[in-house]
Each structure stands twice: as C-alpha cells, then as structure tokens.
Amino acid sequence: MGSMRDIDPYTVLAAGYDFVMEHVDYEAWADYIHELITTHHDSPDKLAELGCGTGSLAVALHRYGYTDYLATDVSNAMLDVARRKAETTNAGIRFAQADFSSFRLLQPVDVLLLLYDGMNYLLGVDKLQGLFTSAYDALKSGGIFVVDQSTPSNSLQNEPYFEDQGEKGGFSYRRRSRYDSDSYLHTTTIEISVGDDTFRETHVQKAYTMQEIERLILEAGFDILSAYDGFSLDDAHENSERIHWVLRRPPSVSR
C-alpha cells in the first residue's frame, strides 16, 4: 500500500459519499423541506439548491413535482455522482458547478436551498456575507431561502459520535473529528482507501451561534419568516443543535 496523499475535500470521498452518509434519511429530510417550502411560499415553481452533494435531496424532492430544479455544488466529483443518480431516476434535474459563497444564477428562483451544514463550511464573516448577498440576488421578489446551520451546541453535545469507519466494495474510510470550543472550528479528517491507494481529506467547519447568523441575515436585507429548532416546527433557541432558517427577499424590493 502506498503512502497517504492529502487531497481536497470531496475529491475521492465523492465515490463513497453515499455509503458514508447512508445513515441519513433523505426521504424524511425532503418531507420536512417540502413542508417548509409550501408553508412559506404560495407557488414554488423554480428551485435551486446550493451544495447539492451527490444529489440525494434533489432526487428525493423530485417526487413532489419540482420539475424546474437546478442543483449546484463546488465539487465536480460530487456532481458527477449526482448526475448519474438523477439519470437512473429520470428526475430531470439540471446540474451546474458553483461556489455558494459567491455565485450568480442566470434566472432568479422562487426557492433557494442550502442544507446539511453547507453554511458551516464558510469560515469567515466575509464568506457568509457573500453567501447572503448572492442568495438575495438569486431570488425573485418574495422568494425564500431555506438554509440550515449546525451550532456549537451540536458539536459539544454529539462529541461521542465523532469517530466511525466502514468498508464496502473496495472503498473504506475512517472518520475522526475534533471540536475546538475556543475557535468554534470543527475539523473532520477522513482517511480513505481505494484499492491500493490511500488518501486523506480534511474538512473544516465553523459552528456559528444563532445570534451571529441572525445579524448577518438582517444586514443582507432578508425578512426572517421562521427559525426552526432541528427538524421541527418549534422555534429555535440558543441551545438548538440545528437551526432551519426560512428567509424571504421582501416583495417588490430591489437593491
């Protein structure tokens, strides 16, 4: 076996991502997101998803009839897997490469999504500001942005689950994480073996507080329609582990 090579996040992981994440119930996740969309938008027709990964949520949402759906991700390796998955399900989803900290859509959408800790990969306020500015500009007047965040409480309270490993079909991984409560940085190291080759991907996220994100949301000009605790319809609070925000570009307001 050769020496371990350090590579960019989601490069080799893409091939085994669905195996690594098989504990995630994307059907239930899609049910919840669909409920949020239809609760807060009267006629959601055109959707775009940021950080779509291997397309599991996009495919799961397709059963609700979202036919005008653009799914984007910064990783071309992840998009390749997503395209193949969508082809096998005849979902008719369009895919494009985009960095969600700074992006521009050719046509504005009714609903924009960024889920499963995507926002936490932005490690500085300038990147977060870029996200919210781009998201605002990507929405039609009255359009909504559904975005979630993992909080410091999530990292602190789930520390026992920071390590796992698995093997399937010639792909094996070992995942270890650590959380620095001083810097709020959550660093995950994934060691991957494919055949005789071994790789290491390092993923760094920042755990932002609810108050930090709320301030940036308001600065960007959004209306906050709701902030939900986890996967519920209860109000989020300072000890929520995950917060689902539903933000609206105010009707008939332009920059």
Can you list the domains of the chain with their CATH numbers? 7-154+206-248 (3.40.50.150)
pLDDT at 216 over 80: yes
> What digits encode the pLDDT tens for the residues 20-54?
999 999 999 999 999 999 999 999 999 999 999 99
What is the mean predicted confidence (pLDDT) over 48-69? 95
Distance CA 138, CA 120 (A): 20
Distance CA 117, CA 150 (A): 6
Distance CA 76, CA 145 (A): 24
> What digits encode the pLDDT tens for the residues 130-162?
999 999 999 999 999 999 999 999 988 887 667
pLDDT at 84: 94
pLDDT at 253: 54
Amino acid at 222: F
> What digits encode the pLDDT tens for the residues 112-129?
999 999 999 999 999 999
Average the pLDDT over each of 34-43, 88-97, 218-227 and give the range with the smallest value: 88-97
Nearest to 183 by CA among 161, 154, 148, 152: 152
Distance CA 56, CA 24 (A): 10
pLDDT at 89: 84
pLDDT at 2: 61
Tokens of 73: 């991700």
Contact indicator for 95, 84 with CB cutoff of 8 Å: no
At 67, is the pLDDT very low, low, confident or very high (cuts 50, 70, 90)?
confident
Distance CA 59, CA 28 (A): 12
pLDDT at 158: 80
First to last CA, the chain: 56
pLDDT at 1: 52
Nearest to 187 by CA among 199, 173, 204, 170: 204
User: pLDDT above 90 covers what percent of the chain?
Assistant: 87
